[in-house]
Structure 1
């Protein structure tokens, strides 16, 4: 166990015994001859006393020396000790939120009982909702993006520097061939386009790329389309140009060992987006689009589709630029998937800036509202024989969530690696914060729908799209009604007592 944590556990034990004996730091100082400031630093886990000082403390407390130096804490503090002895604090990405490990340790030492209750609560929530280390790190990454409005100027600058250094014609879109050439010449890559089905492992066919670090060999699944291949190549440039050594080796990733791998994967992906959809060019096109008076989805596809045919790349990139350049910070991004013929939908990716938008992922297997445009584009896509891309938009109003109103646009596509699956990507912006910036949002022809988050929490009457009964909503209503009755009863009884 690390020396820092040994200090902290000793400090926790010292403080616990001192307070149980109703001794102030001043009184303990008088009994032991140790200064008050020195004792304070011991209790905060900053110092570990020498043997003679521990003897003095044991004598003052009238406890055996061995008991005082033991790393065992009583049952009230045992969970804290377990956390400190594990690698949890090392695994939590404290640094990206500007938190020093020492600060957290001091919080623990100042209020160990409350921290213990908090830790126990997290453990219980994690057990009940199957919270894994992987999902914890993904949630940390989302929080990191949200804390920075999903805009990272240092990566934007790096992408611009790269374009200046390597791309001769800045007016042209970055081509697959040009990226390949740079990877081969500058970073000594070998790039092989293969049908992953030929590798003899069925599950590998679902991947788009595999990187063999020792050989600098990049396998790209030949079944992926041109845009997907370009993003993979640009992402490899990001890893190398940004000097990101701790990385993931497949796309899409199957698993990760450390938070740095996940974070660097995000940085490399961000760099790829900034390279393929350059900030200044895309901003010019977004302004042109937002100045349109009429709501025309074909214009949306025409203006933004010249960069890539991948809606996800476009929507993700817009989440970078909308907060920074248009002051539209109330937004969300969703990616959902479904199997053809199924009435089940899975939320596989999400981002919520300002952390107040609905919907958000639920862990209770509830049914997402079938009025979402995100689900409707998937239904439309499934009915079209030759459909490869479906885009739709609506204004969504959440009557059971403070009447929040969003403009939401969603694109559905077939999953190229799972022919039986469809997926949609969606971006939604809070109406009141975006309507001045995006003129076409005021077009009266845009469909308006009342929506909910899940059927189970929805109180809409006679909803033809309902996929489940509103038992959570009804339970909440019953509880509220009961509280009113209880309060009225208490008031009545109070009056009777007073009159008697």
Structure 2
């Protein structure tokens, strides 16, 4: 164990024993002869006393020396010990949320047994769902993005300064050639187009960066938009002076949270460079002022930028909450293999609060009426390169409605695989003031659920499984009614 955690566990034990004996720090100081401030630092895990001082504390508390120096904690503090020994607090990017690790431990240590039981439950849930380290990192990153409404002004400003410094076009006309010149001339890159070997295990890679020689290898299947994003991301790593980073895209593994965070920073920077905020904002204002939705107008804006549909949708999650005040927004990315029944939700983001469509870890069937699922089925069945649709999703069990835009594309890196990218906005009187076409009668309105197992929709032709959660609720309700009748009968 790290020395820091040994100090923390020792401090927790001292504080626990002192509290059990109803002693204040002042009182303990008088009994053992150690200063109050020194004892306070011991309890906070900042100091570890020498042997003679531990002996004094053991004599004062009337406990064995071995008990104090043992790393074993009593039952009510055992969950804290598990957390400290697992190193999980090193994995949580507490500093991003303005939390000091010592403060968190102090809060936990002062918590009643119910909180410790809660911590044990969280550990058990994580083990039950076999959450990987990468999964934990990505969940932390998502929380970080959501806490900032997925808008980072410093990255926006740096992308703008970079564009001005290298005289890049801020009207969405940046090309891969523009960025390739900068990488080669300014940062000494060697770029090998189609440099990734044609092997099945490498099929999913778009690029590989070799730091020792600043060599960037590309897959021969990346199109112009993907190449531009890769170059913009590499420029982001260099311009932001990022050292700790993943060297493959898509990533194979993350060794620590810094790599996850820096990968996000570079990706955000790339999006801000390729799709300039001010330029996109003005065109979105024109689109949202229209009384009727125009798919042609929507795609006209998309085509202004040398970006993939996913990059465009991701950029909307930066701009719309900040510049248009659209706070209740979700972003979803699904993948699907032709012929398979399963649809995988591989990326999600929720601004303000957890919106209705979200990932579940219990292998239930996502609602087949979701636009993201319907468009994937259509794209896969007809083997389309690109498809788009829009609908109002009306959630039957909550009465919440969402305006949803979705695009689907063929996956160029995996045979018979398809992916959809969608963005949705909670429909409200506020949204109606911001998007004039939100009540356009030509937009399909569809009753939807979250999963088939939890949906109460009657006679759904797309249902993949019975509503088992609701059937259980109905059974419990009936049982309660019968018990109530029995109670009345014998009262």
TM-score of Structure 1 vs Structure 2, range by shorter chain: over 0.9
1:139 corresponds to 2:139: yes
Equivalent-residue separation in structure 2 for 1:405 and 1:117 (angstroms): 37
User: CA distance change for structure 1 residues 42 and 382 in 2, over 3 Å: closer, same or farther?
Assistant: closer
Name the structure 1 match of 2:356: 358
User: CA distance change for structure 1 residues 480 and 133 in 2, over 3 Å: closer, same or farther?
Assistant: farther
Match of 1:213 among 207, 211, 217: 211
Name the structure 1 match of 2:9: 9
Q: Offset at 1:311?
A: 1.3
**48-57 vs 315-324, greater mean Cα deviation:** 48-57
Name the structure 1 match of 2:347: 349
> Which SS does the other structure have where 1:449 is aligned?
strand
1:424 corresponds to 2:424: no
Residues 431-453 of structure 1 deviation map (CA, whole Å, 9 limit, x = unaligned): 11422111111211111011001
Gaps of 5+ in 2: none
Q: Offset at 1:348?
A: 0.9
Give runs of aligned pairs for residues 309-348 of structure 1, distance below 5 A.
310-348=308-346
Q: Offset at 1:78?
A: 3.5
Residues 369-396 of structure 1 deviation map (CA, whole Å, 9 limit, x = unaligned): 01011111112223435x2111001001
Give runs of aligned pairs for residues 259-298 of structure 1, distance below 5 A.
259-298=257-296
Name the structure 2 match of 1:72: 72
Equivalent-residue separation in structure 2 for 1:169 and 1:230 (angstroms): 13
1:410 corresponds to 2:411: no
**28-37 vs 215-224, greater mean Cα deviation:** 28-37
**Equivalent residues of 2:93, 2:257 under 8 A apart:** yes
Q: Offset at 1:484?
A: 5.4
Residues 8-36 of structure 1 deviation map (CA, whole Å, 9 limit, x = unaligned): 21222223333444555565445334455
**Equivalent residues of 1:294, 1:443 under 8 A apart:** yes
Equivalent-residue separation in structure 1 for 2:160 and 2:148 (angstroms): 20
1:58 corresponds to 2:47: no
Equivalent-residue separation in structure 1 for 2:445 and 2:431 (angstroms): 16
User: CA distance change for structure 1 residues 54 and 383 in 2, over 3 Å: closer, same or farther?
Assistant: closer
> Which SS does the other structure have where 1:214 is aligned?
coil
Equivalent-residue separation in structure 1 for 2:401 and 2:99 (angstroms): 35
User: CA distance change for structure 1 residues 466 and 330 in 2, over 3 Å: closer, same or farther?
Assistant: same
Equivalent-residue separation in structure 2 for 1:89 and 1:112 (angstroms): 20
> Which SS does the other structure have where 1:450 is aligned?
strand
Equivalent-residue separation in structure 2 for 1:458 and 1:161 (angstroms): 50
User: CA distance change for structure 1 residues 422 and 43 in 2, over 3 Å: closer, same or farther?
Assistant: same
**Equivalent residues of 1:10, 1:48 under 8 A apart:** yes
Match of 2:460 among 445, 459, 463: 463
Residues 82-106 of structure 1 deviation map (CA, whole Å, 9 limit, x = unaligned): 4323432222111111111221122
Give runs of aligned pairs for residues 435-454 of structure 1, distance below 5 A.
435-454=432-451
Q: Offset at 1:210?
A: 0.8
Q: Offset at 1:52?
A: 4.1
Name the structure 1 match of 2:124: 124
**29-38 vs 217-226, greater mean Cα deviation:** 29-38
**54-63 vs 177-186, greater mean Cα deviation:** 54-63
**303-312 vs 359-368, greater mean Cα deviation:** 303-312
| Count of residues in correspondence between the two structures | 490
Residues 421-478 of structure 1 deviation map (CA, whole Å, 9 limit, x = unaligned): 1110000001114221111112111110110010000111111010111111211233
Equivalent-residue separation in structure 2 for 1:263 and 1:351 (angstroms): 15
Give runs of aligned pairs for residues 209-248 of structure 1, distance below 5 A.
209-248=207-246
Equivalent-residue separation in structure 2 for 1:168 and 1:368 (angstroms): 43
Q: Offset at 1:318?
A: 0.3
User: CA distance change for structure 1 residues 391 and 309 in 2, over 3 Å: closer, same or farther?
Assistant: farther
Q: Offset at 1:153?
A: 0.5
1:478 corresponds to 2:467: no
Equivalent-residue separation in structure 1 for 2:277 and 2:318 (angstroms): 9
**Equivalent residues of 2:246, 2:263 under 8 A apart:** yes
**Equivalent residues of 2:228, 2:306 under 8 A apart:** no
Equivalent-residue separation in structure 1 for 2:41 and 2:245 (angstroms): 40
User: CA distance change for structure 1 residues 7 and 382 in 2, over 3 Å: closer, same or farther?
Assistant: closer
Equivalent-residue separation in structure 2 for 1:384 and 1:331 (angstroms): 30
Equivalent-residue separation in structure 1 for 2:338 and 2:250 (angstroms): 21
User: CA distance change for structure 1 residues 46 and 114 in 2, over 3 Å: closer, same or farther?
Assistant: farther
